[in-house]
Amino acid sequence: MKNVNKHGDDARWLKDNLDDLLADSDASDAKKERKRLEEMLGRFNNLIPALEKTSDKSAVFSKAYDFRDGMNKRQSWLDDAQKQVMDQPFIDGLEDARTYLHEHEVRKTHMILSKLMSLLNDCFVCLIKKETIYD
């Protein structure tokens, strides 16, 4: 884990500051506070293996979910492609191919035209809003 060294530095800082604070205190209080700090640091050090194990498991789960999402996208794409293939008419001859190609070009042109109309409509709405703002 990245932060283990940082926590080690923090533990040293705590010990040093505790020693500075306890320099003028009673020996029994100082001993008691040092013991409490050592117990707390011991509990923290006992947590480190569990934190590392959890971090490793988290990384594996994250990769697994990313893989699953990628596979779902690919499966969806393959399902769509299969559906499109199954929806396509059987082409038995040159005339059928020409008819199908013409229908495909018409559908493609309609799709482009509808996108352009939508874009023009959006521009028109934007211009109307702009005029009402400046009036």
* 1 lies in the same domain as 27: yes
Spatial CA neighbour of 11 closest among 34, 31, 32: 34
Which structural domain, as residue segments, surrounds residue 135? 89-135
pTM over 0.75: no
* 54 lies in the same domain as 120: no
* 95 lies in the same domain as 129: yes
* 27 lies in the same domain as 68: yes
Q: Tens digit of pLDDT per residue, the chain (135 long)?
A: 556 667 778 888 888 888 888 888 888 888 898 899 899 988 888 888 888 888 888 989 999 999 999 999 999 999 988 888 777 667 788 888 898 889 889 999 999 999 999 999 888 888 887 766 555
- Structure tokens that stand for 98 in this block: 């020409």
Structural domains in the chain (count): 2
CB 52 within 8 A of CB 1: yes
Q: What is the DSSP string of 75-93?
A: HHHHHHHHHHHHHSPPP-S
CB 42 within 8 A of CB 34: no
